[in-house]
Chains A and B, each alone.
Chain A
Amino acid sequence: MEHAIRVIGLTKKFLKQKSNAEYFLQPFQKLYVTALDNVSFDLPHGELLCLLGENGAGKSTLIKTLCSLIWPTSGYAFVNGFNVTRNDVQHRRQIGYVICDERSFYWRLSGRRNLQFFASLYKLPTERINRRIDELVEWIGLSEAIDQRFKGYSSGMRQKLAIVRGLMHDPDIIFMDEPSKSLDPNAAHNLQELIKYEIVAKHGKTVLLATHNLQEAEALNHRIILLHKGKIQAFGTMPEILTQSKCDSTYVIKLTNPHPDLPAKIVALPGYLRQRPETNSILAFEFNMMPHNASEIIRQVVEWDGSVVSCYAQVPTLQDIYRTFIGDS
């Protein structure tokens, strides 16, 4: 069968809201923001793909375009073989959308009534809706609150309700826009496990998940699209992207009260990268992992009478990886 998602040269330009100055200087000129710039990729059925990028990278725009909620400026996108600009009603049954926006519920109704309403829009039988609510709410840990009014929910609970809503009609292809944004680390971890093992591995669903969180992309441990300013910068698994970025993990070694000569010696060691800002009596140095391993560095420093407080591997941040792809702009 065809790909679950196929995107070909997708570009979206939004008309920019002019500032007052721009309004006077260029009254007739239309200014555009390019949210997606010639994006192409395929996603086979039953796979999980992480859309990784900082705020404003174009993640939400891409997801909304695939959900037929935003009309592309040029290029094509097919979801389940359907052109997104055709927006076929029957086809929408196959699509689930977990919205990033926590507002999107009726505030004065309970979580349950909200879910009942939204699920009815998929013409599911009432018993099935109720059964599914109980099942999913239990699964995500919202059982106690489900009959309370939405307006009393914390943002984590709202987010959970949005996730349940996106799954109510058991869609094949699920779009999740920063689903763990307001979850605490524990709940976020649980959600990642749910997505990875239940939704994708067990039930064979296709998931496209947007996140600005590198750790989340790593934890999900599938393929990643690195999006920046609407352009795909890299595509692949996390190790593949790290290799492409030539942005390796580093060692950080911390010393306390070193001899005044010591820093100069450490700086001269092979693989030395930079000194990191630290508090009062602690000094921190960062090393490349490549030429040697941690024990070698520690042995050398101890030999010079340095007292090592700690030494750990430093995983590159999204910013580090970005920096290698696009410079420091």
Chain B
Amino acid sequence: MMHRLQIPLAFLKKDFYNEISYRFHFMIQIFGIFFATLSFYFLSKLVDQNASSYLEPYGGNYLAFVLIGLAFSHYMLVSLSGFSEAIRETQMMGIMEILLISQARLSTIILSSSIYKFLFTSFRIVVYLLMGALIFHVDLSNANYPGALFILLLTIVSLSCIGIISASFIMVFKKGDPIAWGITALSWLIGGVYYPISVLPPWLQKLSWLLPVTPALEGMRMALLRGYSFPQLLPTITALVVFSFIMMPFSLLVFRIAVKKAKIDGSLTQY
């Protein structure tokens, strides 16, 4: 077991030391988490009184609503852009070749490249939710935690597939990451991160359900805020499972092809 995890752990350690070498930046990141929570708390005081009808389906508390949206969107960002950022950085530093002649498999390399980012995001999310619950009394008492966690994991896997395909793009074309960029931008706008999609005009609402994040986010909020049970979450879970099962092998295949293309072009270290 230790043996299997050695390479991912090495990536994690390397990224951690790299990150804390920017001491000031690291501290700012930590403070940023507290400030974000605080500002949304004040925002929620304004929103709660005026938006109750929109927030009703989610338990009526804006802070609870938005913290989950925020947490979710952080994972979304890492899943969609983390891989391509890591690949681009590795190419720019001239390290790609060194990774590729090592004994690490291609899938291990790409998956390990974002572990640190996922862990740091998780830390951030736990702090958001703890602060929400302990200081601002966001009510998560009847939440279905396993259900929410399960949806979250599936969402990360699904979005990572898209992220890996976009990293393949970077591998070959060095620039431009249209897929992840488009999905991210649309998700912020109509995916229901900051506000319920019910505030959108009906045609945009319909459009938003085509994004992978909308149903996933909805499912997570229902699990955390309304305590939806597994059977109630089943449609969301099924959709995500099907998507992941098809897309994960496909995205790794696309990455493999991208690496081969880069080897043909001799462009592993170009950027």
Interface residues of A (CB under 8 A from B): 12, 14-15, 35, 61, 64, 67-71, 89-90, 92-93, 95, 97, 99, 101, 103-109, 113, 116-118, 120-123, 149, 165
Contact = CB atoms under 8 A, between A and B. Distances in A.
Given A104-B98, A121-B10, A70 B263 contact: yes
A69 B101 contact: yes
5 contacts: A93-B103, A95-B101, A99-B98, A101-B269, A118-B98
A140 B94 CA distance: 23
A97 B14 contact: no
A172 to B, nearest CB: 14
A123 B103 contact: yes
Contacts of B266: 12, 14, 35, 61, 64, 70
How would you classify the secondary structure of chain B's contact residues: helix, strand, loop or mixed?
helix
Interface of B: 3, 6-7, 9-11, 13-14, 17-18, 21-22, 93-95, 97-105, 260, 263-266, 268-269
Contacts of B13: 116-117
A106 B14 contact: yes
Contact of A69 (B10, B22, B97, B103): B97
B1 to A, nearest CB: 13
B18 A106 contact: yes
B102 A118 contact: yes
Nearest to A104: B94
B14 A71 contact: no
Contacts of B18: 106, 108-109
Contacts of B260: 71
A289 to B, nearest CB: 43
A113 B14 contact: yes
Contact of B93 (A35, A64, A103): A103
A93 B7 CA distance: 14
A109 B15 CA distance: 10
Contacts of A95: 101
Most chain B CB within a 10 A radius of its CB, from A68, A70, A90, A103: A70
B17 A113 contact: yes
A109 B21 contact: yes
A71 B262 CA distance: 9
Nearest to B102: A121
